Amino acid sequence: MGAAKAVVLARAFGSGAALDSYLLAFLVPSFLVDVFCGSLVPVLVPKLVELQYWEGQAKAIDFYGYILRRSMWLSCGTAAALAAGSALVAMLGAGSARLNLHQLGVLTLLMTPILPLAAVANVWRAVLNARGSFVIPAFTVTLTPTVIILCILLSRASPGTWLLAAGTSLASLAEVVVLGMGLRSAGLPILPQQPEGNFSLTVVRNEYRYLAAVTAMSAGTAVIGQSMAAALGAGSVSILNYGTRLAGVLMAIGPAALGVTILPRFSYMAASRDWESLKQSLWRILSGSLLLAGTAAAFLIVFSIPIVRLTLQRGAFTAADTRAVASVQAYSLLQLPFIVGITILMRVLSALKANRAMLPFSAAALVMSTGLNYALMARYGVAGIALAASSVQALLFVALATLVFHRGPHGFLKDCDVDVSHRQWN
């Protein structure tokens, strides 16, 4: 569905300034959703599995209700602050000549509701995934591109960027509705009753902070990349978005789906202290996934130009756009096997409640990404930003693999008979 959305966007908008405005406006709410809402799933799933294993389903449901209430309050407060800031930018940006700040503010304001909706959706995803239910959460991620496609196809006049923004918020609401129906069908409450007393959130809060910081730095590389692409001229952000779309689709099909399914499995092994099975399962999944992803990336890189020409070159999307996008796409596909490996290793660290260990690596990746973007975009243009991203992902994978498999005192899988979740790190 993400690929289909790219095809429809290419026909309707091409690679002009209009689509750039929507993509830039989407940066802030999508960044906040990734950092504050997306981090909920890998933190909550291990905790819910642990509670189910040691204290029973009732305790896990009480904890889920407690987290859901806190997430709703915090996300609504963040959304209100974002709405106020967007409205202020829209008012102050009226009449801006160089950059249409008014339009950016309005589009961001239209997409503000996705923050609280994403918070609810991700808590519900975590609850379903912890119980081994993947079908409905997987289906809901197709709703955003589906709704946007329908909004464009059903518009009688030429679609405007406001329609894309409104469709994005509408799709988030649809996700919440479908996930709520999934909870009810699984016999789980939409909003559990307020539990007696409070839960100790020290471990969960710390893991969430670590993972949110890691996600912020990871998402920050994408934000920096698109911001630097905007400096290359009108249409550059769109070219970067189109060029990384195929890699994004493959990451959703491969690494993202794999990360969702292996997290409960790794969490169960960690909760039961079955370290030998965890090591064997990790090595099997990692080696097989890297081989498959590397083969797929090599094949797609060879046929990058025909793929772009067949899928995107029509309507407002020209042959010149095809050449530019194909170059970006080839460089972005280089990161596919490394993203697969990073996803698997990060899920292991989440299952072991060791997200803190990723902080220095993510910080280094952010700094390197910024430097490489600046150096390579001067030589290769937009394609240099994609090449920088792939280079950084390769280095990050090597660092994380060393961290997990290292045989020294800091190797996570060296002496798993100790409680790795309580190791002290310098």
Which of the four pLDDT bands, split at 50, 70 and 90, describes residue 94? Answer: low
Kindly give the interhelix angle for 143-154 and 161-185, rounded to the nearest 10 degrees: 140
Has residue 419 got a pLDDT over 50?
Answer: no
Has residue 33 got a pLDDT over 70?
Answer: yes
pLDDT of residue 418: 41
pLDDT of residue 298: 93
3-state helix, strand, coil in the chain (%, to 5): 80, 0, 20
d(CA 363, CA 42): 20
Q: Which of 139, 153, 84, 92 is nearest to 112 (CA)?
A: 84
Which of the four pLDDT bands, split at 50, 70 and 90, describes residue 346? Answer: confident
Has residue 266 got a pLDDT over 60?
Answer: yes
Using one digit for the tens of pLDDT, what is the confidence trace for 63-90?
888 888 888 998 999 999 999 988 888 8
Span 6-13, average pLDDT: 80
Q: Which of 261, 218, 258 is nearest to 355 (CA)?
A: 218
H-state helical runs in 155-303: 161-185, 202-230, 236-243, 245-251, 257-271, 275-302
Amino acid at 158: S
Q: Classify the phi-psi angles of 197: left when phi > 0, otherwise alpha if psi is within -120 to 50, otherwise beta.
A: left
pLDDT of residue 421: 42
d(CA 40, CA 350): 11
d(CA 370, CA 328): 17
Domain boundaries, the chain: 1-199, 201-426
Span 267-286, average pLDDT: 84
Using one digit for the tens of pLDDT, what is the confidence trace for 38-56?
888 888 888 888 888 888 8
Which of the four pLDDT bands, split at 50, 70 and 90, describes residue 417? Answer: very low
First CA to last CA distance, the chain: 44
Q: Is the pTM of this model over 0.85?
A: no
